[in-house]
Amino acid sequence: MSTLTIGRPAATEHHPYFSRYIDQNVEDDVIAALENQITEALALLGAIPESKAGHRYAPEKWSIRQVVAHLIDSERVFAYRALRFARTDSTPLPGFDEAVYAPASGADRRTLADLTAEYECVRRANLHFFRGLDEAAWLRSGNANENPVSVRALAWIIAGHGRHHAQVLKERYL
């Protein structure tokens, strides 16, 4: 298991768009950020009654369940990219369209508790993966969605993306 402190990525390690997620994290170490963010997310989601899980703050917006499904899908995609690049696979990877994924997820046929449990499993699995990386793997990079991105940046993006959507849930849904 890694005992490295993984600092923030340089601006050259990701597309500028992703700074908005990386900057959501207050920690100096990405493993701490991932651990802290999961605790925060589970507390937030656990406080939402099932009766409100289908709520949309506007007709064309996702339901709370779809937001959670989006977090799960995005984390899987970002972690898959990190896995490929950490293992020295430099094959360019395509982007993904969250506007297509969310409605296709079937989230509104599931309970919020079930989605929350899946989210927790995905995050804990990714924490095990990231903890096992050595310094060289953290610094590897590849091309995803036609942009360079490092393994380190992907981990920071995962944590910050979760925090971003937690804030959206608090401000617009709850």
Q: How many domains does the chain have?
A: 1
Instruction: With a cut of 60, say whether residue 1 has pLDDT above it.
Output: no
Tell if the pTM clears 0.75, that is, is over it.
yes
Instruction: With a cut of 60, say whether residue 9 has pLDDT above it.
Output: yes
Cα–Cα distance between 153 and 170 in angstroms, integer? 26
Asked if the structure places residue 3 within a domain, the reply is: no
Asked if the structure places residue 27 within a domain, the reply is: no
Average pLDDT over residues 163-173: 97
- Tens digits of residue pLDDT in 92-147: 999 999 999 999 999 999 999 999 999 999 999 999 999 999 999 999 999 999 99
Cα–Cα distance between 137 and 135 in angstroms, integer? 5
CB atoms within 10 A of CB 83: 17
Look up the domain containing 144 and give its range: 32-173
Asked if the structure places residue 164 within a domain, the reply is: yes
Asked if the structure places residue 116 within a domain, the reply is: yes
